[in-house]
Amino acid sequence: MAHYFTDVSRTFSEYLLVPGLTTKECLPQSVSLKTPVVKFKKGDKPEIELNIPFVSAIMQSVSDDGLGIALARNGGLSFIYGSQSIENQVEMVKKVKKFKAGFVVSDANIKPDSTLKDVIELKKKTGHSTIAVTHDGSANGKLLGFVTSRDYRENKDSMDKKVEEFMTPFSKLVHGKLGITLSEANDIIWENKLNTLPIIDENQNLCYFVFRKDYEDHKENPHELLDENKKLMVGAGINTRDHEERVPALVEAGVDVLCLDSSDGYSEWQYNAIKFIKDKYGDKVKIGAGNIVDKEGFLYLAEAGADFIKVGIGGGSICITREQKGIGRGQASSVIEVAEARDEYYEKTGIYIPICTDGGLVQDYHMVLALAMGADFMMMGRYFARFDESPTKKLKMGNSYVKEYWGEGSNRARNWQRYDMGGSENLKFEEGVDSYVPYAGKLKDNLDVTIGKIKSTMCSCGAITIPELKDKAKITLVSSTSIIEGGAHDVILKDTNA
| Whether residue 319 lies in the annotated active site | yes
How big is the CA angle at 110 (ends 109 and 112), to the nearest 5 degrees?
Answer: 140
Closest CA to 57 of 312, 355, 315, 378: 378
How far, CA to CA in Å, does 260 sit from each of 264, 267, 324?
A: 10, 11, 22
Give long-range contacts, CB 8 A cutoff, 24+ apart: 426-430: 429/324, 430/320, 430/324
- Choosing from 26, 259, 319, 356, the catalytic residue is 319
Q: Helix, strand, or coil here: 209?
A: strand
Phi and psi at 163, nearest 5°, equal -60, -40
Across 320-473, the runs of DSSP E, i.e. the strands, are 351-352, 355-358, 377-380, 394-397, 400-406, 434-438
Is residue 418 part of the annotated active site? The answer reads: yes
- Residue 346: Cβ-neighbour burial (10 angstroms; 0-12, 13-18, 19+): middle
Angle at 160 between CA 114 and CA 163, to 5 degrees: 35
- The answer to whether 162 touches 110, Cβ cutoff 8 Å, is no
Distance CA 354, CA 332 (A): 16
Residue 74 CA neighbour count, 13 Å, CB half: 23
Residues 6+ apart with CB under 8 A from 323: none
In this structure, the number of other CB atoms found within 10 A of the CB of residue 317 comes to: 19
Q: Which of 259, 382, 418, 461 is catalytic?
A: 418
Secondary structure letter of residue 45 according to DSSP: P
Asked if residue 94 lies in contact with residue 254, where contact means CB atoms within 8 angstroms, the answer is: yes
3-state secondary structure (DSSP) of residue 482: helix
Q: List, by residue number, the catalytic residues.
A: 319, 418
